[in-house]
A and B are shown apart, each in its own frame.
Chain A
Amino acid sequence: MGHVLRLYGTVAAGGFRRHATYRVATAAGVFTNTVFGFILSYTYMALWDARPALGGYTQADALAYVWLGQGLITVCGLMGGGFEDELIERIRTGDIAVDLYRPADLQAWWFSANLGRSAYQLLGRGVLPMLFGSLVFDFTLPAGPGTWLAFLLAVTLGSIVSFALWYLVAMSAFWLLDGQGVVQVAWLGGLFFSGMLLPLNVFPGTLGEIARLLPWASLLQVPADVYLGRYEGWALLGAYAFQACWAVVLLAAGRLVQTAATRKVVVQGG
Chain B
Amino acid sequence: MVAAMWIRSTLTYRASFALTLLSNLVVTFFDLVVILLMFGQVRALGGFSFPEVAFLYGTTATSFGLADLVMGSLPRMGKRVRDGSFDTFLLRPAPVLAQVAADRFGLRRLGRVTQGLIVLIWSLVLLAQSSLVAWTPLKVLLVPVMLVSGAVIFGAVMVIGASVLFWAQDAAEVTNSFTYGGNNLLQFPPTIFAQDLVRGVVYVVPLAFVNWLPALYVLGRPAPDGVPAGAAFASPLVAGVCCAVAGLAWRTGLRAYRSTGS
Q: A: which residues have CB within 8 A of B? A: 22-25, 27-29, 31-32, 35-36, 38-39, 42-43, 45-47, 50-51, 54, 176-182, 184-185, 187-188, 191-192, 197-198, 202-204
Contact = CB atoms under 8 A, between A and B. Distances in A.
Nearest to A198: B34
Nearest to A136: B194
Contacts of A42: 188, 192-194, 197
Given A32-B177, A46-B188, A181 B45 contact: no
B37 A204 contact: yes
Interface in B3-17: 13, 15-17
B45 A47 contact: yes
A31 B37 CA distance: 28
21 contacts: A28-B170, A28-B174, A36-B177, A36-B184, A39-B181, A42-B193, A46-B46, A46-B192, A50-B41, A50-B42, A176-B13, A176-B16, A177-B13, A178-B16, A181-B18, A184-B23, A184-B24, A184-B27, A185-B23, A197-B31, A197-B34
A166 B33 CA distance: 24
Contacts of A22: 170
B145 to A, nearest CB: 26
Contacts of A50: 41-45
Interface in B173-222: 173-174, 176-177, 181, 184-185, 188, 192-194, 197
A203 B37 contact: yes
A202 B41 contact: yes
A45 B46 CA distance: 10
B232 interface: no
B172 A28 contact: yes
Given A32-B174, A191-B30, A204-B37, A46 B45 contact: yes
A117 to B, nearest CB: 15
B37 A39 contact: no
Contacts of B19: 180-182, 184-185
Contacts of B173: 25, 28-29, 31-32
Which label, helix, strand, loop or mixed, suits the secondary structure of the A interface?
helix
A24 B15 contact: no
A152 to B, nearest CB: 26
Given A42-B188, A181-B18, A184-B23, 5 more contacts: A28-B172, A35-B177, A39-B188, A188-B30, A197-B30
B38 interface: yes
Contacts of A43: 38, 45, 188, 192
B123 to A, nearest CB: 18
Contacts of A188: 23, 26-27, 30
A268 B40 CA distance: 50
Contacts of B169: 24
A46 B173 CA distance: 27
B20 A180 contact: yes
B107 interface: no
Contact of A24 (B20, B31, B168, B194): B168
A38 B27 CA distance: 21
A189 to B, nearest CB: 9
Contact of A51 (B26, B31, B41, B177): B41
Nearest to A55: B41
A25 B170 contact: yes
Given A46-B188, A187-B23, A197-B30, A181 B181 contact: no
Contacts of B177: 31-32, 35-36
A22 B173 CA distance: 12
Contacts of B171: 24-25, 27-28
Nearest to B167: A24
A20 B18 CA distance: 36
Contacts of A31: 173-174, 177
B23 A39 contact: no
Nearest to B19: A181
Contacts of B46: 46
A178 B17 CA distance: 9
B96 to A, nearest CB: 23
Contacts of A178: 13, 16
Contacts of B44: 50
A201 to B, nearest CB: 12
Nearest to B168: A24
A63 to B, nearest CB: 14
Nearest to A54: B41
A32 B184 CA distance: 13
Contacts of B188: 39, 42-43, 46
A198 B24 contact: no
